[in-house]
């Protein structure tokens, strides 16, 4: 039986794990940054690789007994390089935030200027928020969506870059549904002599499966998480051109991390192998198709989508026209078994705790095998939930319909 050792040792934690499995199975996970990793990746994460210190890099460790850890880490490095066409990869960052920390300090000194996206326009906390290390240690200037196109327009960025003269320009987002044309960003960076960095945390799986343009060879340094569309263990990777390779390795260790999480690195190696497969390519194609189908259904039910749609795995719904806040929508959707998160929309009049939008993503529900038909049903559920927000009977009905879909697409059926 699954988790039988935990059940013996710690019944309280076991109870929570059991309930969490039921929650994941019986609701629709539509948080754009989440996914369901494979049983193989989870096995690696629960494996004996957790028992070892392996400070250093394959072949250059500060501890003995690392022969097999070297093999596993080298597999992860080689697979990351192949998948993203990178000269160099460091697979040790514990998270996406750590990967960004490493990237900044590999090419900049504290106090240097970065040009990055504004948080409510799709950026991440590590892109210069004052409550984050990034905003405290670097000078940020921020670019925004173009008011007419609601997209990031490289021409606008160039104008700001000429004025602000940043040392680093950052592209890559948490809530932007459109493709990034990296070559245009390269031209902007070259124009002002800045380093070009891409944070592909959200879109790494789409890039791996050629559903989104590759950042290399256009970017100098690229960071990612491994647990979003890439569907691996929680963690980060930094990749770069040969020029920054030594600096990146030194910044990760001994710069600011100690021993790498070798069980997570084993999981990264496996996830990167999975991401090279024909099945994964089909999966990523379906993620994008599903996002299209859901976006179309929502728009035909009168929802406004920021940028008017999506060509990735996510969409940002502006709820102002529906007279409901992001916070209220998040709670309502949870009541019917749909998990999503409130999100700021451009020029949001609400606070970050309330917001006027919700972000919806298709990576996790696509991992369960759902297709366009289910997306249209789900779009209709979302619409009905908003329209009947005070009708408990309707909401109960929708919750049952959600449960039916979940049962038809079982999650981890062998557990
Ligand atoms: C999720 C995300 C991160 C941070 O990843 P964590 O693993 O949560 O630290 C960084 N950048 C972007 C754009 C993200 O979406």
Distance CA 367, CA 372 (A): 13
pLDDT band at 174 (very low <50, low <70, confident <90, very high): very high
**CB 186 near ligand 1, within 6 Å:** no
* Mean pLDDT, rounded, for 348-374: 96
Q: CB-based contacts of 206: which residues, under 8 Å, 6+ apart?
A: 212, 229, 284, 287, 288, 312, 313
Percent share of the chain, pLDDT over 70: 100
Distance 375 CA to ligand 1 centre (A): 26
Distance CA 209, CA 177 (A): 17
At residue 346, the pLDDT reads 86
Q: For residue 172, which atom of ligand 1 is closest to its CA?
A: 13
Catalytic residues: 53, 55, 199, 225, 228, 234
pLDDT band at 354 (very low <50, low <70, confident <90, very high): very high
**CB 362 near ligand 1, within 6 Å:** no
pLDDT at 315 exceeding the cut of 70: yes
Which of the listed residues 34, 129, 225 should we mutate to test ligand 1's pocket, taking the one with most ligand atoms within 8 A of CB?
225
What are the residue ranges spanned by the domains of the chain? Answer: 43-274, 279-408
Which of the listed residues 92, 93, 97 should we mutate to test ligand 1's pocket, taking the one with most ligand atoms within 8 A of CB?
97
Name the CA dihedral angle for 395, 396, 397, 401, rounded to a multiple of 10 degrees.
Answer: 100
**CB 134 near ligand 1, within 6 Å:** no
Q: For residue 186, which phi and psi values (nearest 5 degrees)?
A: -60, -45
The CATH code of domain 279-408 reads 3.90.1150.10
Distance 199 CA to ligand 1 centre (A): 8
**CB 361 near ligand 1, within 6 Å:** no
Percent share of the chain, pLDDT over 90: 95
Which among 55, 58, 129 is positioned nearest to 97, based on CA atoms? Answer: 129
Task: Kindly report the protein residue whose alpha carbon is nearest to atom 5 of ligand 1.
Answer: 96
Distance CA 394, CA 392 (A): 6
At residue 201, the pLDDT reads 98
Q: For residue 234, which atom of ligand 1 is closest to its CA?
A: 7
pLDDT at 65 exceeding the cut of 70: yes
**Overall fold of domain 43-274:** 3.40.640
pLDDT at 196 exceeding the cut of 90: yes
**CB 115 near ligand 1, within 6 Å:** no
Average pLDDT, the chain: 97
CB atoms within 10 A of CB 77: 24
Distance CA 140, CA 164 (A): 10
Distance CA 223, CA 160 (A): 23
Q: For residue 199, which atom of ligand 1 is closest to its CA?
A: 13
Residue 15 CA to its chain's centroid (Å): 29
At residue 2, the pLDDT reads 82
Name the packing angle between helices 392-408 and 326-335 (round to 10°). Answer: 70
Token look-up 């994964």 returns: 280
Q: What is the pLDDT of residues 95-126, one digit of tens each?
A: 999 999 999 999 999 999 999 999 888 999 99
* Mean pLDDT, rounded, for 366-373: 98
């Amino acid at each position: 039986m699954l988790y039988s050792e935990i059940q013996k040792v710690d019944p309280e934690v076991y109870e929570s794990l059991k309930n969490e499995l039921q929650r994941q199975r019986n609701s629709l996970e539509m948080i754009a940054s989440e996914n369901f990793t494979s049983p193989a990746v989870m096995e690696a994460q629960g494996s004996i690789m957790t028992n070892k210190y392996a400070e250093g890099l394959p072949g250059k460790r500060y501890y003995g007994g690392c022969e097999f850890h070297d093999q596993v880490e080298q597999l992860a490095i080689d697979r990351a390089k192949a998948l993203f066409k990178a000269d160099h990869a460091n697979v040790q960052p514990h998270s996406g935030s750590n990967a960004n920390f490493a990237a900044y300090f590999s090419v900049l000194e504290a106090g240097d200027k970065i040009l990055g996206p504004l948080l409510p326009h799709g950026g991440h906390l590590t892109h210069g928020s004052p409550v984050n290390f990034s905003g405290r240690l670097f000078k940020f200037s921020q670019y925004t969506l173009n008011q007419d196109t609601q997209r990031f327009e490289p021409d606008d960025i160039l104008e700001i870059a000429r004025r602000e003269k940043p040392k680093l320009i950052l592209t890559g987002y948490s809530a932007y549904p459109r493709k990034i044309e990296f070559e245009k960003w390269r031209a902007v960076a070259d124009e002002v002599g800045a380093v070009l960095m891409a944070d592909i945390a959200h879109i790494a799986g789409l890039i791996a499966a050629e559903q989104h343009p590759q950042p290399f060879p256009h970017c100098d340094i690229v960071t990612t998480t491994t647990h979003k569309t890439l569907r691996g263990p929680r963690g980060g990777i930094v990749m770069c051109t040969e020029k920054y390779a030594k600096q990146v390795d030194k910044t990760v260790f001994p710069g600011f991390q100690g021993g790498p999480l070798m069980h997570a690195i084993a999981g990264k190696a496996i996830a990167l192998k999975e991401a090279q497969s024909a099945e994964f390519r089909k999966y990523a194609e379906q993620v994008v198709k599903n996002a299209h189908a859901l976006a179309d259904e929502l728009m035909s039910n009168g929802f406004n989508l920021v940028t008017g749609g999506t060509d990735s795995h996510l969409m940002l719904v502006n709820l102002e026209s529906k007279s409901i806040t992001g916070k209220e929508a998040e709670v309502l959707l949870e009541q019917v078994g749909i998990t999503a998160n409130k999100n700021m929309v451009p020029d949001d009049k609400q606070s970050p705790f309330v917001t006027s939008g919700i972000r919806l993503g298709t990576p996790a529900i696509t991992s369960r095998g759902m297709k366009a038909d289910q997306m249209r049903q789900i779009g209709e559920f979302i619409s009905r939930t908003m329209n009947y927000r005070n009708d408990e009977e309707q909401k109960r009905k929708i919750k049952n319909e959600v449960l039916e879909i979940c049962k038809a697409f079982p999650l981890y059926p062998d557990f």
